[in-house]
Amino acid sequence: MVIPVKPDVIIVGAGVSGLTTGVCLAEAGLSVHVLSHQALPERTSYAAGASWGPYMLEGDARGLEWSRQTREILQQLAAEGCGVRIVAGIDAAEAADAEPPAWAVAMPGFRRCEPHELRGRFRSGWHYEVPLVDMPTYLTYLQDRLLAAGATLSERTVDSFAQLSDLGRVIVNCAGIGARELVPDATMQGVLGQLVVVKNPDPPVVRFFQDDAEHGDLTYILPHGDLVVLGGCAVAEGSALDHDAVAEEIKSRCAEIEPQLATAQIVEVRTGTRPKRPQIRLERTDVDGRVIVHNYGHGGSGLTVSWGCALEAAALVRAALDGPGRPD
């Protein structure tokens, strides 16, 4: 590993959180080096769906604000051909009296579904527009943007912050599930997810569909031009998972909503481990005279809060570098 002469910031982790935080810092003029223990296709964020939506953040004021900031930036990026698109679709629920969350009501194009617009087991729902993100394309865009801003990136496994104590002035922890051992943080849990990528059939799917289930059998259909991402599942880390059987079950469930998906060709099956925590950890700590800014534990909301969290983490880094007792 070659690291430039003591950069301002060392970022541990190069998923959507690490890359976005790196972009914010590098484009602000700081010298940044990002460490990843995996190449891009193996990173957890690569396997995300991914649609914007603060589904698990209701009642979390900081989470909702981070989500709002992220949505505004994703809407701007949608014009840049970087894997972000604004797509209309439906959020549905099995309960006939389900109420949409307040944030959904405020979304562009919001209206409640008519009965004839719902299929299968779903009895209520609402339309709106959200950013959908093709994660392989988007992560490549973020990484290219990071490097174009002058940052550097290398692959390395980090077992302790002590290994980095003399390498950068401030450490930013975006290690995701790796924070469980790195911090260590016993509150971190891994949630194994799987999705299926299929060729968009004819007639093509052009609108997204998502359910509001809180159990593991999530159902979502996210169109990305020639491909459609189908999901999903969420099971405890370490569970036995028959990937082929789960893929067929996901595809069958989605075909109840969009029948043409029944014969759609499977292109790829992606799996990843979501880094779940009771609350997102975004704060500064000082350990043995070294400043560490933590930005991890986003669970399934990593994309949704990515820019909001990155901007706040970057502000904490700048305050540490500029404030009294700033690190050498």
Residue at token pair 């579904």: 113
Residue at token pair 């709106």: 128
Q: Is there a single domain that holds both residue 259 and residue 309?
A: no
CATH of the domain at 248: 3.30.9.10
CATH of the domain at 158: 3.40.50.720
Per-residue confidence at 215, pLDDT binned at 50, 70, 90? Answer: low
Count other Cβ atoms within 10 Å, centred on residue 37: 16
- Residue 309 belongs to some domain of the structure: yes
Residue 303 in marked binding region: yes
pLDDT at position 216, please? 58
- Residue 2 belongs to some domain of the structure: no
Domain that holds residue 259: 87-129+189-276
Q: Is there a single domain that holds both residue 36 and residue 99?
A: no
Q: Is there a single domain that holds both residue 120 and residue 194?
A: yes
- How many structural domains compose the chain? 2
- Residue 300 belongs to some domain of the structure: yes
The end-to-end CA distance of the chain, in Å, is: 22
Q: Is there a single domain that holds both residue 198 and residue 260?
A: yes
Residue 124 in marked binding region: no
Residue 232 in marked binding region: no
Residue 304 in marked binding region: yes
Q: Is there a single domain that holds both residue 179 and residue 144?
A: yes
Tens digits of residue pLDDT in 120-137: 889 999 999 999 999 999
Q: Is there a single domain that holds both residue 116 and residue 154?
A: no
Residue 158 in marked binding region: yes
pLDDT at position 286, please? 92
pLDDT at position 315, please? 98
CA angle 173, 174, 178 (to 5 degrees): 90
State the chain's mean pLDDT as an integer.
91
Continuous segment of H or E residues that includes residue 33: strand 32-36
Q: Quick one: average pLDDT of 86-103?
A: 94
- Residue 77 belongs to some domain of the structure: no
- Residue 64 belongs to some domain of the structure: no
Residue 44 in marked binding region: yes
CB 141 within 8 A of CB 83: yes
Angle between helices 302-322 and 61-77 in degrees, nearest 10:
100
Residue 118 in marked binding region: no
pLDDT at position 60, please? 83
Q: Quick one: average pLDDT of 59-79?
A: 94
Q: What are phi and psi of 172, to 5 degrees?
A: -115, 125
Instruction: Say how far apart CA 230 and CA 232 lie, in whole Å.
Output: 6
Residue 227 in marked binding region: no
Q: Quick one: average pLDDT of 24-51?
A: 88
Instruction: Say how far apart CA 93 and CA 104 lie, in whole Å.
Output: 14
Residue 19 in marked binding region: no
Residue 219 in marked binding region: no
pLDDT at position 279, please? 93
Residue 168 in marked binding region: no
pLDDT at position 324, please? 67
Instruction: Say how far apart CA 314 and CA 20 lie, in whole Å.
Output: 10
**pTM summary value:** 0.93
Q: Quick one: average pLDDT of 208-231?
A: 87
The lowest-confidence range among 21-25, 75-79, 134-138, 240-244 is 240-244
Q: Is there a single domain that holds both residue 200 and residue 264?
A: yes
3-state secondary structure of 194: strand
Decide which of 241, 259, 276 is a domain's last residue: 276
- Residue 80 belongs to some domain of the structure: no
Per-residue confidence at 58, pLDDT binned at 50, 70, 90? Answer: confident
Any alpha helices (H) in the chain, and if so which ranges?
A: 16-26, 61-77, 102-105, 135-148, 179-182, 243-255, 302-322
Q: Is the pLDDT of residue 259 over 90?
A: yes
Closest CA to 157 of 131, 128, 183, 178: 178
